[in-house]
Chains A and B, each alone.
With several copies, the nearest count.
Chain A
Amino acid sequence: MHAADMVIGLDDLVARIPDGASIAIPPDYSGCAMEAVKALIRRGCRDLHLIGVPSGGFQADWLIGAGCVASVEAAAMTLGEQGIPPRFSAAIRKGRIAMKDATCPAIHAGLQAAEKGLPFMPLRGILGSDLLKYRPDWKVIDNPFGGGDDPIVLIPAIQPDIALFHARAADRNGNVWIGVRRELMLMAHAARTTLVTVERIEDADFLTDDTMAAGTIPALYISAISAVPGGARPIGLAGAYPADTAELAAYAAAAKTEDGFQRWADEAIFGRVPA
């Protein structure tokens, strides 16, 4: 594909996410495509299966609050210092979404299995946890390299339909710089389709620059890119801008009730001026 065809508008970008898709999203400290999530909500997306890599935060809570989500797999759901995501917690209480509780390394292992085209990856630990009880898709075998009686968990591959995240920059060839945030690279390797919003598109080739190349996802793994300056607000983006903690706290307070969430979404997502 030509790089020129990879750069599209934000609405076109989220149009690539079909209803019912499984979609991997990064944790709040990585690179969150907040504006893309808003566009997805405006589109009225439904029945998503969210995969928190390894946890879900504001993005997940917005999508759940807006009724876009059928199920979630994550090791945790948290707004950090703002506590439990309120729409998630309400949805769980009411049984409105299905939850596949995981543990962080199991999410990474599942994605790595997909990255390697493997049916599974082994993982130590977990034995004795109730997580295992509720994850019939996780299997326990006896380690074939042990002396017998050495149980080990196998985690099946997690291949998301979509990986969606925000990064500092793409270059003119569609390569995306993510620095040390290698979980974004893992997501791009593992997913069928990878959609990225970036602060800016630079007239450069990151792969010919030894230093930049080290933190770059090659265009080979990128399906489409939108330039969305400030696209990670209000979460913030390392090296670019900090979190807007006041806005995050305001969300956490507003979203305590369904009505509060609706009022917040009307303004923050749909841009309707409150009456």
Chain B
Amino acid sequence: MSTVEIDSISRTEIMIGAITRMLQGLRHVAVGNSSPIPGSAALLARALSGGELRVSLLGSRTHNAFTDGGRELFDCAAQGRIDAFFLSGGQIDGAANINLVGLGDYPQSKVRFPGSFGSAYLYHLIPRVILFREEHTPRTLVPKVDFISAAGTSPENEYRPGGPYALVTGLCVFSFDKNACRFRLQSTHPGIGPAEVKEATGFEYAAPEHIPTTEPLDSAALRLLRTEISRQVAETYPGFAAKTWGVVI
């Protein structure tokens, strides 16, 4: 195992830091497949909580306590035992709809994404669903998704204990306002201004006059992330850990 030098905090680490903060005080967060940034944040948040936070990292063989097969995550969510989860999207729109299926007409998508996974269900059942997408461009954050894998909001009468809480990108953090059914710019990452975010965002969102900078991880947390946590991440996401921290297992 070797670790390369990292001079300063990376964009990925800013995203991890922002998500880590959203998990404070929770009891149990689950992380799906193909979610290395949230996975890193969850493992870091667990370490910072002194073990109070449970993390179920799907696809991991060691950070996954489930013993009832593939269905357990979904049952567990419906039981109200999962406080937070993470979803991404090939496209995400201003009403927090996400598209994990493809671009263009369905089903013969001109660009096909992997598919909806559990999003159409978990988005409705887990109270704090954190959206994440590193690429923040008008191509990914669009006015309206081509295919709704999972809907951002639901009519009042529908059973929906869960829903979107925030959207973390490579440029900023949005919170989601369920009543207004739109995002609100919460903070911009170090070195990024509100104008850059506006330029890069394909949907309308609320923005207060004063927008703070996304607070980076403090140096102790950053050190923890780059040492112990990065190695935990590498077990499930070897490619990601190698690219981000030079961790090779």
Contact = CB atoms under 8 A, between A and B. Distances in A.
B148 A130 contact: yes
Contact of A101 (B66, B101, B122, B123): B101
Most buried by A among B34, B72, B240: B72
B223 interface: no
Interface string B93-123: 0000000111000111110111111111111
A167 B66 CA distance: 18
B67 A76 contact: no
B225 interface: no
Interface string A210-227: 000111111111000000
A182 B157 contact: no
Interface in A171-201: 175, 180-186, 189-190
Contact of B70 (A88, A108, A143): A108
Interface in B116-147: 116-125, 147
A208 to B, nearest CB: 7
Chain B: number of interface residues, binned into ranges: 35 or more
B158 interface: yes
A125 B123 contact: yes
A183 B237 CA distance: 23
Contacts of A76: 100, 114-117
Contacts of A230: none
Contacts of A255: none
Contacts of A108: 70-71, 74
A149 interface: yes
Nearest to A159: B79
Contacts of B66: 180, 218
Nearest to A88: B112
B239 interface: yes
Contacts of B77: 117
B33 A75 contact: no
B75 interface: yes
Chain A: number of interface residues, binned into ranges: 35 or more
Contacts of B65: 175, 207, 218-220
Given A76-B100, A117-B78, A134-B106, A124 B71 contact: no
Nearest to A245: B238
B71 A80 contact: no
A95 interface: yes
Contact of B67 (A89, A105, A208, A218): A218
Contacts of A102: 115-116
A183 B71 contact: yes
Interface stretch (B54-62, B167-175, B209-217): B54-62
A76 B117 CA distance: 5
A73 B41 CA distance: 32
B37 interface: no
A270 interface: no
A104 B118 contact: yes
Interface in A232-265: 238, 245
B15 interface: no
A118 to B, nearest CB: 7
A205 B76 CA distance: 21
A116 interface: yes
A156 interface: no
Contacts of B54: 220
A114 B35 CA distance: 29
Most buried by B among A104, A180, A217, A238: A104
B120 A131 contact: yes
Contact of A124 (B109, B121, B240): B121
Given A76-B116, A81-B237, A181 B78 contact: no
A75 B115 contact: yes
A95 B115 contact: no
A34 to B, nearest CB: 18
Contact of A103 (B110, B114, B116, B237): B116
B21 interface: no
A103 B59 CA distance: 17
Given A101-B107, A214-B67, A218-B66, A150 B118 contact: no
21 contacts: A55-B115, A76-B115, A103-B116, A103-B118, A104-B118, A105-B74, A106-B121, A116-B74, A125-B120, A125-B122, A125-B123, A127-B124, A128-B154, A180-B67, A182-B72, A183-B71, A185-B68, A207-B65, A207-B67, A220-B65, A221-B81
Given A103-B118, A124-B78, A124-B124, 17 more contacts: A55-B115, A77-B112, A84-B113, A93-B109, A93-B112, A95-B108, A103-B120, A104-B70, A115-B79, A116-B75, A125-B122, A126-B124, A128-B153, A131-B149, A182-B67, A185-B69, A208-B62
Interface of B: 27-28, 33-34, 51-52, 54, 59, 61-62, 65-81, 100-102, 106-110, 112-125, 147-151, 153-154, 157-160, 237-240
